[in-house]
Structure 1
Amino acid sequence: MGFSSGNFATMTLAAAAAVVVLAASTSPAVANPAAPSVPAGPLDITKLGARGDGKTDSTKAIMQAWKHACAATGTQKILIPPGDFLTGALDLVGPCTSSIIIRLDGTLLGTGDLNAYKKNWIEVQHVNDFSINGHGTIDGQGPLVWKHNQCAKNYNCKILPNSLVLDYVTNAQIRGITLLNSKFFHMNIFECKNVLVEKVTITAPGDSPNTDGIHIGDSTNITIKDTNIGTGDDCISIGPGSKTIRVKGSRCGPGHGISVGSLGRYKDEKDVEDVQVTDCTIVGATNGLRIKSYEDSKSALKACKFLYDGITMDNVSFPIVIDQKYCPNNICVKSGASKVAVSDIVFKNIRGTSNTPEVVTLNCPNNLPCQGVQLINVDVKYNKADNKTMAVCHNAIGKSSGVVKELACI
């Protein structure tokens, strides 16, 4: 499910990617090496009135620490020490004259009072050189409000608050923390550049509504590395306008898999290009690797240059899926005239077990067949004995190599 300049503007995508890789191997990012100025006040939220008792509203204290840090220069570190800190909406807005690190060792609790939020819970906007690191938790307390989610009945439903949102952020790292039981999406990355999410844990029950792990939209050079996601919706969803996306060494499950899309729901959506998912494990998910677009797509866009390599499937219901006739709640006009062009998609070294016989599903439209789809060294077997492993393929053009004959449908 998906909704919706800096110093790197003139760099090539390859050079920008190199910056993120370099940052991943060093201490949490702050690109500005200047000595910090003295902020206008404390940056430890407990010195500003926050109490880690799980009951006292700490919103004002955190916002005051942000104000102090944002107005300073150099590198500033906001401290959230051990304890349970209850908050409402945190609008962490820039631009700032400093580089900001939030050191999270305690637990932030999102209040169950929906009147405390305008839109999202923790929203970082228009900030460069930003990081959150530590061993703490961002707990959305979703069980308090999931009953208010009506999206299963109405696709144009009122959206509950997302937990952590990055909007128009350049050069960011989210490392080491846990996101727990979001009210809606756990993390939403929109119009961002050069973001690293590393060694993060995202957890919610498999039946929790619309609790996507990480959603990415209209963003460039986003890396998700060594991260463990188990939720009630997509572990990772990659939306329109996303380019140079890397998912490495991560685990997904339960959930709906690692998805591109949905694509084509709205007008004027942008292409999705250069996506690589490598050395990942998907366990007990309803889907594995999925590309989905609306049958009556409103936008003409491309989804191209994807590589899925070195993926282990463990009891996944539908391991490999391209679905260009996606139509939740039967709201689509079933014309079959898609405007989403899918091409150059490689599924390579995919192994493991499927919970249904249908290991490969390539459902492309008559008017716009999928082009350049490759199945290379795919060995996924149905884990029960009463049916044979199979592939269901329509209008997919490409090739199979090193694939058992039951799956070699192209």
Structure 2
Amino acid sequence: MPLIRAFPGLRPAAGRADEVAAPPYDVMNDAEAREMVKGKPWSFLHISRSEVDLPPTIDPYSSVVYAKAAENLATMRHEGVLVQDSSDCYYVYRLSIGEHSQLGVVAAASVAAYDSDRIKRHELTRPTKEQDRVNQIDALNAQTGPVYLVYPSDERIDDLLAGVAEGEPTIDITAADSVRHQIWVLSDKTRITALTMLFDALPALYVADGHHRSAAASRVAAARAAANPHHTGDEPYNYFLSVIFPHQQTRILDYNRVVKDLKGLTSDQFLETVGERFKVEMTSEPVKPSETGQFGMYLNGCWYRLTLGAKQIPVSDPVASLDVSLLANELLEPILGIADQRTDSRIDFVGGIRGLKALMERVDSGEWAVAFSLLPTSMGALMAVADAGKIMPPKSTWFEPKLADGLVSHLL
């Protein structure tokens, strides 16, 4: 089976994309989702977050929620808001905001390649969230949330996609967060074959964002194959919806931390203890780290620059050398007693898109005691971790800009 393949996508009818497109299902809470759909009967949130059409007391993992999503999808198809292409296509997708732009392709990626680690992952999944995606796919008989994949930049692929994007886009919308989404439908069989072969020659793809969705797709495929006495491997369920960008164009922002207390230490005692492991300098400006082993710390209305010595950075270990690991191993665990960032309620995470001001606001509110700013994890570091078959610490990457849901879906 090829690494990726074209498919007949389900997408907004002409002129309806602006009504349909929605942020990813997991970037807002319930109250925010309910607010977003007001006056927007065709928002894709009615499918990806169908609890918005049910009482606020509903369990979001209830079977009623998944049934409502399926009902809403059927309605949008029946009303002609969503239509399926009649032939296999790729969909060239450009994301733009400000000076940043990235050009990739919406494709169906091979579950077999994922299962054999040719599509590499770097995060663990949480059972509840993974099961939620399994239930969603089964109820809809479709994959509606794309997995964000990355390919090692290849000039031939880049040039082919750029050539398609020279034409007039089929979809061209700008979302409320100022991100521009453009899509070109690639239906030419010659170029489809060429793109498929170019991707097939790549050594690997990498899951950037969407570990729960890709894991869920694998589980659904295994279950359907086992239940299908005529299984061939060519069925749509053997592939999962993805958007694939070249690694050099992918933008990862910092993923910062706030901690509720100093584990019984006074501020002076805490600073003294930190000083035993880091060079500590007070600064007059917020600290945005510029190199590995450097961190910003906001405490009692003051910013500090924390710097580790070169000998404290284990450069031969792709996980231990990450800044998120260095902060955890040198400060969060030994000084603040935070051993498991996945489960400890004393720590929270703030995406870099919110800026350093958000860290200051959290601490100044009195609810949090100290904040840390980190250097963004690089795409090269992520790929090195995945190539080594290792797992990143939680909340290591914040990808921006975000993909939109609803622009292309994959029916099973």
Instruction: Give TM class, smaller chain.
Output: under 0.3
**Structure with greater strand percent:** 1
Higher relative contact order (CA 8 A, sep 6+): 2
Could you tell me the TM-score, scaled by structure 2's length?
A: 0.22
TM-score, normalised via structure 1 length: 0.22
Q: Highest CA radius of gyration, 1 or 2?
A: 2
